[in-house]
Amino acid sequence: MTEEKPSILIITQDITTKLFFKSQLENKYHLIEKKTFEDAIKISESTNLDIVIVDDKMPDAIDLCFQLKKRKRLFTVPIILVTARLKKTYFQKAIKAGVFDIIYEPLDDIKLKNVLDKCEKEKQKIKKVSSVSFNIKKGFSR
């Protein structure tokens, strides 16, 4: 039985950013690429995603992160923001919008690998907490 690849939604209009992620991720992940706010919202409502990557060159990128995080389906899915902005206030605004982590430009494979490793560890923690929570609820329902 073959295991299905995890899915990553990449939201960008920038061809360089798109090609970087495609070259780095397409062997290990199923990539879904969207160029607009509306298309990203639509696909997030109908697809099981493991990670979302948002390029801050997108119009209203922070608002898009917030709108995606509000979706029940994406509540525990890590959202990664790609940016060249180094201001602390921008970082804080992104975190409030539900961004899990930021990859600062210029993009490179080491930065990407580190963030993806953090995402995987976070997913394992969430899975463990969910399992414990389920067992506790099951114990109370007896």
Per-residue pLDDT of the chain (142 residues; tens, 9 = 90+): 446 899 999 999 999 999 999 999 999 999 999 999 999 999 999 999 999 999 999 999 999 999 999 888 788 899 999 999 888 999 999 999 999 999 999 999 999 999 999 998 988 887 666 555 555 655 655 5
Phi-psi bin for 31: left (phi > 0), alpha (psi -120 to 50), beta? Answer: beta
Identify the three-state secondary structure at position 51.
Answer: strand
Q: Which two tokens stand for residue 127?
A: 């899975």
pTM: 0.86
Tokens representing 132 are 């414990």
pLDDT attached to residue 124: 81
Which class would CATH give 7-140? alpha beta
Q: Is the dihedral of CA 69, 118, 18, 30 positive or negative?
A: negative
- Do 105 and 84 meet the contact criterion of CB atoms below 8 Å apart? yes
Using H for helix, E for strand and C for coil, what is the string for 76-104?
CCCEEEEECCCCHHHHHHHHHCCCCEEEE
